[in-house]
Structure 1
Amino acid sequence: MKRVLVVDDAAFMRMALRSILEKCGFEVVGDADTGIKAVQQYKLLQPDIVTMDLTMPELNGIEAIKLIRAIDKNARIIVISSMGHEIQVREAIAAGAVSFIVKPFKEEIVKQQLLTISQANK
């Protein structure tokens, strides 16, 4: 079972993602509401996959991605954000994200992306 860390500053979004992930057979090992907490949780939990929002207090998602990738160059991070403009997508991918899902999302898209990423070699 793949272990996932869910990062989003909105509690309802973390709960929605948790529900989708658990339905797909993933284990949500933790969550974080800021970029700083995301990096701390990544170090502690060493999840297989991270879902990452971009707009968060203290440390944004792009910076958190960079810090996580500095810890683990093979970290698999999927950005799930309402900031879906081309520049943000490019920045996220350049920082090390493997995929980008725009909010509001369809549950099926999240399932498909997570299953694809989970089957890829780390």
Structure 2
Amino acid sequence: MSKKILIVDDAAFMRMMIKNIVTKAGYEVVGEAENGNVALELYKQLKPDLVTMDITMPEMDGIEAVKAIRGVDANANIIMCSAMGQQAMVMEAIQAGAKDFIVKPFQQDRIIQAIERVLNR
């Protein structure tokens, strides 16, 4: 059975890009969210195996969303997605419970590598 992924990014084109990469690799995208509030609700409903989470989003940012999701499921697998130069935020995200991070612009193999490493722990 393929692993289920929830993609969270406020930019629709980024969600589409990640979706294309992960579906080609055989994963199933079960939902997409444009901010942390939507991500939290979808996480509760869909119970995905993994979440890709943007850091900078309106309403609830990625770090707050990681904390909220980990509050619902302490074992949640979350990979942060950040632009260059957000190292301090990435460290904060890891401390909040994210398992890995990938840097934009994305490299296809780096996304798959991060997903496989987190899911195979």
Give the Cα separation in 2 of the matches to 1:99 and 1:66: 15
Work out the CA distance in 2 between the residues paired with 1:91 and 1:101.
14
Corresponding position of 2:89:
88
Q: Tell me by how many angstroms 1:89 deviates.
A: 1.5
In structure 2, distance between residues paired with 1:6 and 1:58: 17
- Paired position in structure 2 for 1:107: 108
**What are structure 1's unaligned runs of at least 5 residues?**
none
Contact 2:82/2:90 (CA < 8 Å) preserved in 1? Answer: no
Residue 84 of structure 1: how far off its partner (Å): 4.2
Question: What is the aligned-residue RMSD (CA, Å)?
Answer: 1.0
Deviates more, 1:22-31 or 1:76-85: 76-85
Equivalence for 2:75 = 74
User: CA 1:83–1:63 in 2, change beyond 3 Å: closer, same or farther?
Assistant: farther
In the alignment, the residues of structure 2 paired with residue 4 and residue 102 of structure 1 have an alpha-carbon distance, to the nearest angstrom, of 18
TM-score normalised over the length of structure 2: 0.95
Contact preservation (8 Å) 1:54, 1:83: no
Residue 51 of structure 2 corresponds to: 50
Distance 1:84 1:2, change over 3 A: farther
